[in-house]
Amino acid sequence: MPRERLAVLIFGAGIAGCSLAYHLARRKVGSIGVYDPRTPAAGATGRAGGVVTEQLWNEWDVEVTREAHAEYRALARRHRPDAYSENGFVRWTKDPVAAAVLLEAVERLRSWQVDVKAVGPSELSRWMPWGRFEDVRAAIYSRHDAVVTPSAIAELYVEGARQAGVEFHLGRAGTIGPGGRPVLELGEERWDAESTVVAAGAWSKRLFADLGHPLPLVPYRTQAATLRPPQAPPEVFPTGHDVDTDVYARPEGPGRILAGDGTELIEADPERFVASGDERFRTHLAAVFSDRFPGWADSEMIAAWAGVCTATPDRRPLVGEVPGAPGLYAMTGFNGFGVMRAGGVARRLADRIADGPGSRADEELRVVRPDRFHVPYPPFAPRPGFTLEAGDSPRF
């Protein structure tokens, strides 16, 4: 069987693989192929909440998210204005310990040029009159944060990449052979590449293991739902995150909201997870709404679902060349924040592949490169993603 050698072959057409294909095409690295046995955004991307916030816990994440955000805004304004809305993001707590952490975060975030300020129950009540906030001890608000439709952004990347000549091989079962250069076989066709990137979300753990280069990744399940409150909320209001219960809610088109809760702290199998919203999730949302959003207590649940995200031991993604496997790269391990970061991470990884080791981009990726971990990888459990504590040990 003849084999075609590409410059870059990407496994996975979620927002990670699609944004990478787009950025690689802009760098004119040569022929690029993307393979996904499903369709773009069939994984976590198509199930995500689409919250984009700079209320993050380290400067690297803030910079990457800021760059991704600017790109999503520009792409959406040009082609899909309904896929982007700058609505702001506010989080609050009634817990005195968490309140101190939130307020401490304001100065730190400002030192990273995040436009954030402390607000009080009166602002919360004004923005979200369906809520009850008199017990809130601290709240912080970043007005430039946004929400996007993740599948639409992924499709815009696909479109841009296709126009630049990237070939997408989608919806076909293939085999990926291990070896120095992984080979993709689709029927009679075979491809390998100078550089291969695994951007397969929750499936990356299995894929890297099958390629003989395991990485410390743990897939885990998380859930979201769309609801119709009894009285239609405004089309734009800030995304709200209740730190104490880990429930967030955002506008989702006319008369609807999208709400979700945190992380399941056990490993999930992306081939066999429960894809619908479960009873625990529905009950949790209902309880939090009655307590915190009494005006939404009687909301109709339109749909509830789950998706599988990918955790790493330090909650930072795994991006860059895999140790001991020249030409094999990872772009995964987004710990539940892959939509907001993908564009900025993709630009950096595209530059790294184009410019090589020791380049500026290699340095930009230093904190997330896979070579920060060493075999044997100790077992670890996923940890909650939404936290503002500096460093790598979340407190709530």
Q: Considering only residues 17, 88, 182, 382, which one is a binding residue for ligand FAD as defined by CB under 6 A?
A: 17
Judge whether 396 and 98 are in contact, CB under 8 Å: yes
Q: Considering only residues 38, 108, 144, 282, which one is a binding residue for ligand FAD as defined by CB under 6 A?
A: 38
Query: Would you count residue 386 as binding ligand FAD (CB under 6 A)?
Result: no
User: 96: which residues sit within 8 A by CB, 6+ positions away?
Assistant: 137
φ and ψ at residue 76, rounded to 5 degrees: -65, -45
> Residue 36: helix, strand or coil by DSSP?
strand
- List the interface residues with ligand FAD, window 57-116 (CB under 6 A): none
Query: Would you count residue 182 as binding ligand FAD (CB under 6 A)?
Result: no
Query: Would you count residue 197 as binding ligand FAD (CB under 6 A)?
Result: no
Looking at the Cβ atoms of 100 and 275, the one nearer to ligand FAD is 275
Instruction: Quote the least distance from Cβ 31 to ligand FAD, whole Å.
Output: 18
Instruction: Quote the least distance from Cβ 310 to ligand FAD, whole Å.
Output: 7
- The owner of tokens 């459990």 is 381
- List the interface residues with ligand FAD, window 226-265 (CB under 6 A): 260
Q: Considering only residues 90, 334, 350, 365, which one is a binding residue for ligand FAD as defined by CB under 6 A?
A: 334
Binding string, residues 339-368; x marks residues near ligand FAD by CB under 6 A:
xx----------------------------
User: 305: which residues sit within 8 A by CB, 6+ positions away?
Assistant: 47, 223, 224, 225, 275, 276, 277
- List the interface residues with ligand FAD, window 308-327 (CB under 6 A): 309
Q: Considering only residues 87, 93, 222, 387, which one is a binding residue for ligand FAD as defined by CB under 6 A?
A: 222
Query: Would you count residue 201 as binding ligand FAD (CB under 6 A)?
Result: yes
Query: Would you count residue 203 as binding ligand FAD (CB under 6 A)?
Result: yes
Query: Would you count residue 49 as binding ligand FAD (CB under 6 A)?
Result: yes
Closest CA to 311 of 389, 377, 362: 377
Query: Would you count residue 50 as binding ligand FAD (CB under 6 A)?
Result: yes
User: 239: which residues sit within 8 A by CB, 6+ positions away?
Assistant: 51, 53, 87, 88, 89, 90, 145, 147, 248, 249, 250, 251
Q: What DSSP string runs through 100-140?
A: HHHHHHHHHHHHTT--EEEE-HHHHHHH-TT---TT--EEE
Judge whether 184 and 192 are in contact, CB under 8 Å: yes
> Interface with ligand FAD by CB under 6 A: which range of 74-82, 137-145, 282-290, 336-344?
336-344
> Interface with ligand FAD by CB under 6 A: which range of 42-50, 87-95, 120-128, 363-371?
42-50
Q: Considering only residues 23, 47, 73, 241, which one is a binding residue for ligand FAD as defined by CB under 6 A?
A: 47
- The owner of tokens 């250069």 is 181
φ and ψ at residue 311, rounded to 5 degrees: -95, 155
φ and ψ at residue 348, rounded to 5 degrees: -65, -45
Q: Which residues in this chain contact ligand FAD in the complex, by CB under 6 A?
A: 11-17, 35-38, 42-45, 47-51, 176, 199-203, 207, 222-224, 260, 307, 309, 332, 334, 336-340
